[in-house]
């Protein structure tokens, strides 16, 4: 189960971090490096929802190429051989990326970059935003979502995971109103945590976009 103390501290410090630190990239990166060095996010590596994004992606793309923005150590994403063609993880924290590379998984690459300004000429079948969108401002989130379709293949989708939709209401509105077709909204609950959701967005407005088939959700007592 997620460490409640870490989540409480994150909520208490989110405003000063957003106002005082986040505008300064180097300071912001240093803060995340310190947090990873102290092991504050280590509990995420053992969370049990890691297979859910892959199961979702496989409903529209077998052996996909995956871009994971704000990937952290990526340890909780079970990148089993044969389930993906290539995975590229991006995170602001050098510490997190070093830990991700140390896993030595095949067909993976990693990059230290700020997802708020990240751009690439490559195209991916899936772009993941797992538990990261509420570390941005609503305006930054909207700008990021608006930029991502240029990084998708024709069959590509964007998957946004939010742990607690009640506390992230402003970001849920951004997702629903960003102008991209909302293909699926799948509820998920981890252990005894709050109600969360996976949002699947298509890369362009199109009447021919097919909904994503339902997949089993993680819901434990």
Quote the CA–CA distance of 5 and 2 in Å, as a whole number: 9
The pLDDT tens digits for 122-134 are 999 999 999 888 8
**Burial class of residue 80 in the structure, from the number of CB atoms within 10 Å of its CB (0-12 exposed, 13-18 middle, 19+ buried):** exposed
The pLDDT tens digits for 17-63 are 555 455 556 666 666 566 656 665 565 666 555 567 888 999 999 99
Q: Is the pTM of this model over 0.85?
A: no
Q: Return the CATH fold of 48-202.
A: Rossmann fold (3.40.50)
The domain segmentation of the chain, as residue ranges, is 48-202
Decide: 71 and 94 in contact? Cβ < 8 Å: no
């Amino acid at each position: 189960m997620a460490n409640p103390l870490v989540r409480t501290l994150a909520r208490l410090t989110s405003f000063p971090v957003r106002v005082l630190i986040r505008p300064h990239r180097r300071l912001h990166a240093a803060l995340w490096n310190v947090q990873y060095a102290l092991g504050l996010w280590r509990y995420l590596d053992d969370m049990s929802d890691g297979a859910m994004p892959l199961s979702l992606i496989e409903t529209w793309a077998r052996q996909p190429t995956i871009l994971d923005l704000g990937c952290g150590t990526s340890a909780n994403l079970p990148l089993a051989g044969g389930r993906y063609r290539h995975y590229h993880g991006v995170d602001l924290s050098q510490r997190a990326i070093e830990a991700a590379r140390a896993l030595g998984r095949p067909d993976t690459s990693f990059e230290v970059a700020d997802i708020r300004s990240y751009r690439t000429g490559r195209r991916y079948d899936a772009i993941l935003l797992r538990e990261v969108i509420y570390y941005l401002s609503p305006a930054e989130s909207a700008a990021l979502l608006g930029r991502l379709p240029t990084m998708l293949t024709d069959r590509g989708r964007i998957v946004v995971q939010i742990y607690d939709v009640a506390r992230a209401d402003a970001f849920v509105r951004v997702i629903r109103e960003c102008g991209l077709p909302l293909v699926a909204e799948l509820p998920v609950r981890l252990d005894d945590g709050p109600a969360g959701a996976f949002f699947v967005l298509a890369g362009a407005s199109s009447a021919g976009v097919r909904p994503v088939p339902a997949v089993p959700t993680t819901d434990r007592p």
